[in-house]
Amino acid sequence: MDTSTGTPLPTREPLPTATEPSSPEAPEPATPPASPAESASPAEPAESAEPAAPLEEPAGAPVVWPGRPAPLGATFDGSGTNFALFSSVASGVDLCLFDDAGTETRVPLTEVDAGVWHGYLPSVYPGQVYGYRVHGPYDPGSGHRCDPSKLLLDPYAKAISGQVSPSPSLYSYNFDAPDTRNESDSAPVTMRSIVISPFFDWGHDRPPAHPYHETIIYEAHVKGMTKLHPEIPAELRGTYAGLAQRPVIDHLKALGITAIELMPVHQFVNDTHLQEKGLSNYWGYNTIGFFAPHNAYAAYGEAGQQVQEFKSMVKAFHEADIEVILDVVYNHTAEGNHMGPTLSFKGIDNAAYYRLVDGSQEHYFDTTGTGNSLLMRSPAVLQMIMDSLRYWVTEMHVDGFRFDLASTLARQFHEVDKLSAFFDIIHQDPVLSQVKLIAEPWDVGDGGYNVGGFPALWSEWNGRYRDTVRDFWRGEPSTLGNFASRITGSSDLYQNSGRTPVASVNFVTAHDGFTLRDLVSYNDKHNEANGEGGADGDNANRSWNCGAEGPSDDPAVLELRSRQARNFLATILFSQGVPMICHGDEMGRTQNGNNNAYCQDNELAWVHWDLDGEARDLLRFTSDMIRLRQEHPVLRRRRFFSGAAGHGGESDMGEIEWLGPSGARMTDEDWATWYARAMAVFLNGEAIAEPDERGQRIVDNSILILINAAGEDITFTIPDADHAPAWRIALDTAPATDEVHPESLLAGQQVLVQAHSILCLISDEQADQGPEHQERAGLSHTGLRRS
């Protein structure tokens, strides 16, 4: 068959048009198996279901013109809508249109070009509900799973309505006899695609385009951020519109945040096995629509209004000079493994979209732990991912992406390949190569841990930074060299590939794992609420409860926990690289020891805004620390220090020095001492090698950071006047303070740094250094004890 000129296919008998409503509110009662990455054992066998009886096609069927094979998806042009769907294995495709009563009209698409089925309907406008039924081979052993009894989502749908309800009709097999077909209609219990209007008044919207080295990232959940916020109107809480309200934006601006990184907002599926347990997929790493904003986060409707609402949210953040980064999940879909439901890709062209097991193509090759992995060497998959990314940048105006389990995206074959086609097409793309690209550099497959292994243009969640900093502050031995490398930008991981410190996204906590408060309050996970008997979640938390597990009324324990939380925040913000804070950590958010709250769409995981005095102190501390970073370029260099990473970048250029408590430079013996828990870091504000954005030399104050991770107080000697004649105290983690200390410290002066604390000093060339000043400040050569 010649398809190069759009020749119509031979006629065939179309599926009849249904005349009975297919109501999403009428799910079948039987229970499907746990999905998507789940076992094949169903909870109950399905009742046998007969296919719907053929009915006569009604008069006045929609007018269909040939249309165009590009772009894919449903495209409204002001006069009508073009529909285009890729399937290289289909023998026929029905476009299914639904009216307000749920009545389905099936329109055969008879034009096909290069595997793209298409047609133009001049009578279809924004708001039209639609789906597809694909005819073709059902032969799982050969990798094919076409099933016209299943209503399928358009992979390119820009908006999606409804949710998936538990029902056996979602599956192409019978639970009690998996080798037999289940041809019951899935339309009443599945999601549906929506035609949208592409038009939106962006006004003078411009991307903030903050340089990476000036970026502060705030990871947040759309619903969790505002669901409990008392200043957000009740009807907007938990929505895109709620997130764009002034109280939220003012909070982020007061903190100093420059970019909000949103957990998944692509349309995702609420797993049926969680629904049956009274839980739900809260995090959203279960995507089914890569072009559609998740409809449950929309305040004003899901018939396309979610697109307008999302755009309005982005516009509001841009007006506040805050970038929007999306956490995206292009490594797998919500259709699970061979026992999962048929929702979209599986029924359209299974072998073109999914990586199947060689020699056993009824099974899926899974490097994500979810049941399937997308086939990254497939042109259809690569095109879909690129089209999706471009759409979110050009049409939705987002500023960057964080790629979940990004190692899977680099698996063209078995191994992770940083020269894979995925990276090639990203790097040559004139749009995507200019936005922020952040990798979660691991997956669950062999060789999947690739921190430091991604190519130029990419930044990475630095998992080694997280682990090293946690170990250092909880007192693990032999971490001093690693600690020095991590806080100076991890040049050992990134420099050899031509990358800079901003390749390292520095974090201690994220959505996955303990919150910051729980990191200092629990040694062990407490995931009982998840209903998995404690089997879920990581057991290696690298946490320390400071002397008591969980809630405590011991003042010493509580004070130490607060101090440790401030230590972690201060460490993130004086490290070279890109700092990231998890939502609520600046206010002491707790999940009561749950380190895997993926299914807790409730107050356990939502951000609480009723702050006590301790929470307000931590919020002020975090804001002060971010402001300190923003005011001092010596804390956010664009280039690596010239020395070796294992010695913290020290070299003859004098950019940085590592000193012992005595004020003398650390020796090789000091670096090798496994029990060393105290040191001072001198950052030379007069030795910043790179110029500013106008080519001018950067000159800053010098900064001296006194670090004591030991369990006892340690006296530090301020280094000699060659470093600076005097210093003022800028920030202290023990205890928290509401304002900058006015005292100055002189070269050679001694200061007592309390156990488990950081004291940050800034060079003060104008300080009064005479005896009268010393007496007024309470300083002496025997030391300064700070209250």
**Measured CA distances, 110 to 12, 93, 118, 126 (Å):** 10, 8, 7, 23
Q: Is the peptide bond before 233 cis (omega within 30 degrees of 0)?
A: no
In sequence order, which residues have a C-beta less than 8 Å from that of residue 333 and are 6 or more positions away? 36, 287, 288, 344, 345, 353, 372, 374
**Annotated catalytic residue within 399, 404, 467, 655:** 404
- DSSP structure class, residue 354: B
Q: How far apart, in whole angstroms, are the C-alpha atoms of residue 597 and residue 593?
A: 10
In sequence order, which residues have a C-beta less than 8 Å from that of residue 667 and are 6 or more positions away? none
Measured in degrees and rounded to the nearest 5, phi and psi for residue 49 equal: -130, 135
**Catalytic residue list contains 693:** no
HSE at residue 748, side-chain half, CA atoms within 13 A, is 7
Q: Are 638 and 690 in contact (CB under 8 A)?
A: yes
Residues 692-731 as b or e (16 or more Cβ within 10 Å = b) = eeeeeebebbbbbbbbbbbeeebbbbbbeeebbbbbbbbb
Strand ranges for 200-286 from DSSP E:
217-220, 259-262, 266-268
* Alpha-carbon dihedral angle through residues 500, 331, 152, 49, given to the nearest 10 degrees: -160
**Measured CA distances, 318 to 397, 694, 695 (Å):** 9, 24, 27
**Annotated catalytic residue within 440, 586, 601, 764:** 440
**Catalytic residue list contains 404:** yes
- The amino acid present at 716, given as its one-letter code, is F
- Contacts by residues 687-695 (CB-CB < 8 Å, ≥ 24 positions apart): 687/653, 687/654, 687/655, 688/633, 688/634, 688/637, 688/655, 689/639, 689/642, 689/653, 689/655, 690/637, 690/638, 690/639, 692/633, 693/211
Q: Are 152 and 130 in contact (CB under 8 A)?
A: no
56 burial via Cβ count (<10 Å: 0-12, 13-18, 19+): exposed
Measured in degrees and rounded to the nearest 5, phi and psi for residue 553 equal: -110, 15
Number of Cβ within 10 Å of residue 778's Cβ equals 10
CA 171 to chain centre: 30
- The amino acid present at 484, given as its one-letter code, is A
Strand ranges for 233-391 from DSSP E:
259-262, 266-268, 287-293, 323-328, 356-357, 360-364
Strand ranges for 344-398 from DSSP E:
356-357, 360-364
In sequence order, which residues have a C-beta less than 8 Å from that of residue 599 and are 6 or more positions away? 274, 279, 280, 281, 282, 530, 531
In sequence order, which residues have a C-beta less than 8 Å from that of residue 162 and are 6 or more positions away? 24, 190, 191, 192, 295, 302
* Alpha-carbon dihedral angle through residues 637, 640, 644, 646, given to the nearest 10 degrees: 60
Strand ranges for 625-740 from DSSP E:
656-659, 678-683, 703-708, 714-717, 726-732
In sequence order, which residues have a C-beta less than 8 Å from that of residue 651 and are 6 or more positions away? 641, 642, 643
Q: Please, what is the end-to-end C-alpha distance for the chain in angstroms?
A: 85
Token duo for residue 91: 């023998």
* Cα-trace Rg, the chain: 29
- DSSP structure class, residue 447: T
Token duo for residue 134: 């694909």
3-class DSSP state for residue 287? strand
User: Nearest to residue 170, comparing CAs of 350, 31, 69?
Assistant: 31
Q: How far apart, in whole angstroms, are the C-alpha atoms of residue 237 and residue 241?
A: 8
User: Nearest to residue 216, comparing CAs of 263, 241, 248, 253?
Assistant: 253
Which amino acids are annotated catalytic?
A: 404, 440
